[in-house]
């Protein structure tokens, strides 16, 4: 059977992308790559270096010189991010990084610097790659493009529960407000704003549990109409 070699999944925060992508990657034996981690690690590095996240020139320069390594944990298949020789994965999801990452991700220089890394990994194939502009900008040639969406309230509820589970002391209203602000920034930035590719399959996940989302996407994977160069399995 021929499966899509590059599967791109885009959509707003907490639309269910990561859960879906992990499961797909596991089912297909593909690599899972969450590109949000690259924007988060750039944000973390800027904050650590005392650089103002609004300073496009300095942050972009930092992104170009970023010594970042992606490693897969062989036990859990989760991606770990190393910055200058240190595993910083657990520091990428703090409220501080959450608060600044959309500002960093809006800088064209940062997006340009991180594009090459993402394309290089994506074009190796047999990959499920997740982000905001994967199907539109990073790999428009992806074999299957999925766009997940859900209402702001549903997504804020999911993020709130995740944050509480991680031990962060936040209120639902704070999470909702932060998400509203980030949505606005992600959708209104000049470069690579969040939107579905024209040929993306759009799925609303408000009333779907993760299993139903997975089953729907697996159906699309199976009915994939091979283009020249599709993965033979
Ligand atoms: O998916 P996430 O919450 O980890 O993403 C963090 C931020 O990075 C979010 O504000 C959007 C941005 N991002 C982006 O602009 N492009 C991507 N491909 C991935 C994430």
Is 33 a pocket residue for ligand 1 (Cβ < 6 Å)? no
Burial class of residue 111, CB neighbours in 10 A (0-12, 13-18, 19+): buried
The answer to whether residue 1 is domain-embedded is no
Q: What is the pLDDT of residue 227?
A: 59
Q: What is the pLDDT of residue 135?
A: 96
The answer to whether residue 75 is domain-embedded is yes
β strands within the chain, DSSP E: 2-3, 6-10, 31-34, 68-72, 79-83, 86-87, 127-131, 144-149, 201-204, 231-232
Range of the domain at 173: 6-223
Q: Give the position, in ligand 1's atom list, of the atom nearest the Cα of 134.
A: 18
Report percent pLDDT > 90 for the chain. Answer: 69
Report the SS3 class of residue 137.
Answer: helix
In this structure, what CATH number is given to the domain that contains residue 128? 3.40.50.300
Q: Residue 217: pLDDT band by 50, 70, 90 thresholds?
A: very high
Is 155 a pocket residue for ligand 1 (Cβ < 6 Å)? no
Sheet holding 31-34, edge to edge: 31-34, 127-131, 6-10, 144-149, 201-204
The answer to whether residue 94 is domain-embedded is yes
What's the CA-to-centroid distance between 40 and ligand 1, angstroms?
8
The answer to whether residue 228 is domain-embedded is no
Tell me if 217 sits within 8 A of 146, measured CB to CB.
yes
What's the CA-to-centroid distance between 39 and ligand 1, angstroms?
6
What's the CA-to-centroid distance between 53 and ligand 1, angstroms?
15
Tell me: pLDDT of 137 over 60: yes
The answer to whether residue 232 is domain-embedded is no
Among the listed ranges 10-14, 67-71, 99-103, 188-192, which one has the minimum average pLDDT value?
A: 188-192
Number of domains in the chain: 1
Q: List the residue whose alpha carbon is closest to atom 11 of ligand 1.
A: 102
């Amino acid at each position: 059977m021929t499966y899509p070699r590059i599967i791109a999944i885009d959509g707003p925060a907490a639309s269910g992308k990561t859960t879906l992508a992990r499961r797909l990657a596991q089912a297909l034996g593909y690599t899972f790559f969450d590109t949000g981690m690259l924007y988060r690690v750039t944000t973390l590095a800027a904050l650590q270096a005392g650089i103002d996240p609004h300073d496009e020139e300095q942050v972009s320069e930092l992104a170009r010189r970023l010594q970042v390594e992606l490693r897969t944990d062989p036990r859990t298949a989760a991606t770990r991010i190393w910055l200058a020789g240190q595993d910083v994965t657990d520091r990428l999801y703090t409220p501080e990084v959450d608060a600044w990452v959309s500002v960093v991700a809006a800088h064209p220089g940062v997006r340009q610097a991180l594009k090459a890394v993402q394309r290089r990994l994506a074009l190796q194939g047999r990959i499920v790659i997740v982000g905001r502009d994967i199907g539109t900008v990073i790999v428009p040639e992806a074999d299957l493009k999925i766009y997940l969406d859900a209402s702001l309230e549903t997504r804020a509820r999911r993020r709130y529960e995740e944050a509480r589970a991680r031990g962060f002391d936040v209120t639902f209203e704070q999470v909702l407000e932060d998400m509203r602000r980030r949505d606005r920034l992600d959708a209104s930035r000049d470069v690579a704003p969040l939107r579905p590719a024209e040929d993306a399959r759009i799925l609303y996940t408000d009333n779907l549990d993760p299993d139903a989302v997975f089953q729907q996407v697996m159906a699309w994977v199976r009915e994939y109409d091979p283009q020249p160069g599709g993965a033979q399995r």
